[in-house]
């Protein structure tokens, strides 16, 4: 259980074990995980509305592969969480594991993508180096006659950032 205060229109409590400032995806996620871990008396303060900040602008692309292994692990955890958040909270998140394609039209770009694939495998992220025909089968509207190849990450996906922020703050909150 955690309490959300938006617009500061509600009297604030005089005491809280944890006060989180900012109701974007990060603040709501921190509050959600604290509540899941059994922390009570958690307060989240938002000056506007939940997800009204940078989160509102996000396209919602969820790419697992990051520059560092730790952040890659974090995003992999996020994709697993997004898949179960709707069942947990009753609110849709728009999560769809549609995968992602990165394409190469030059030899240099292809070399870069192969390096990307090697890093992905080292981090434990499912990743395939594929040819233009396979890429075209995955996304048929794409022109492929000028491609040398592509990298396919089947675990990537997309979500609705606003819904994703509301879901963890939903039934467990007082607004
Ligand atoms: C155009 C664009 C596209 C993007 N696309 C993607 C994408 O496709 N995939 C992806 O993973 N990331 C994307 N991002 C990045 C992503 O949006 C951010 O990393 C993420 O939203 C940051 O979340 P946050 O909770 O840290 O910040 P915010 O969402 O900005 O939340 C901070 C909150 O704190 C509140 N606040 C600030 N000060 C106070 C205060 N003093 N008191 C009370 N409340 C306060 C603000 O009102 C705000 O709601 C994109 C970003 C942009 C700009």
Q: Is 27 in the pocket of ligand 1 (CB under 6 A)?
A: yes
Q: Is 22 in the pocket of ligand 1 (CB under 6 A)?
A: yes
pLDDT tens digit string along 102-129?
999 999 999 999 999 999 999 999 999 9
Q: Which of 4, 5, 58, 71 has most ligand 1 atoms within 8 Å of its beta carbon, as the pocket-test mutant? A: 58
Q: Which residue has the higher pLDDT, 80 or 9?
A: 80
**Which helix (H) or strand (E) covers residue 21, if one does?**
strand 18-21
Beta pairing partners, 101: 152
Q: Is 136 in the pocket of ligand 1 (CB under 6 A)?
A: no
Q: How far is the CA of 43 from the centre of ligand 1 (A)?
A: 19
pLDDT tens digit string along 44-87?
999 999 999 999 999 999 999 888 899 999 999 999 999 898 88
Q: What is the DSSP string of 100-141?
A: EEEEESSHHHHHHHHHHHHHHHHTT---EEE-HHHHHHHSTT
Which pLDDT score, from 0 to 100, does residue 123 have? 92
pLDDT tens digit string along 119-161?
999 999 999 999 999 999 999 999 999 999 999 999 999 999 9
Q: Which residue has the higher pLDDT, 88 or 161?
A: 161
What is the C-alpha to C-alpha distance for residues 67 and 47, in angstroms, rounded to an integer?
32
Which pLDDT score, from 0 to 100, does residue 8 have? 63
| Sequence ranges of the domains in the chain | 2-94+159-166, 100-154
Confidence of residue 11 (pLDDT cuts 50, 70, 90): confident
Q: How far is the CA of 41 from the centre of ligand 1 (A)?
A: 24
Q: 2-94+159-166: which CATH architecture?
A: 3-Layer(bba) Sandwich (3.50)
Question: SS3 of 158, please?
Answer: strand
What is the C-alpha to C-alpha distance for residues 37 and 33, in angstroms, rounded to an integer?
6
Q: Is 168 in the pocket of ligand 1 (CB under 6 A)?
A: no
User: What pTM was estimated for this model as a whole?
Assistant: 0.88
Q: Which residue has the higher pLDDT, 33 or 11?
A: 33
Which pLDDT score, from 0 to 100, does residue 88 have? 84
């Amino acid at each position: 259980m955690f309490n959300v205060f938006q617009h500061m229109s509600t009297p604030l409590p005089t005491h809280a074990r944890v006060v989180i400032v900012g109701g974007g995806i990060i603040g709501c996620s921190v509050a959600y995980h604290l509540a899941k871990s059994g922390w009570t008396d958690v307060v989240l303060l938002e000056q506007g509305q939940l997800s009204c900040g940078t989160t509102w602008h996000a396209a919602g692309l969820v790419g697992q592969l990051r520059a560092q292994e730790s952040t890659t692990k974090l995003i992999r955890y996020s994709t697993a969480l997004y898949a179960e958040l709707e069942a947990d909270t009753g609110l849709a998140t728009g999560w769809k594991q549609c995968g992602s394609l990165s394409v190469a039209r030059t030899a240099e770009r292809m070399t870069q993508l192969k390096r990307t694939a090697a890093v992905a495998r080292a981090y434990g992220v499912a990743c395939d180096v594929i040819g233009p025909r396979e890429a075209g089968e995955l996304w048929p509207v794409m022109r492929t006659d000028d491609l040398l190849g592509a990298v396919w990450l089947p675990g990537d996906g997309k979500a609705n950032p606003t819904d994703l922020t509301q879901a963890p703050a939903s039934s467990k909150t007082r607004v």
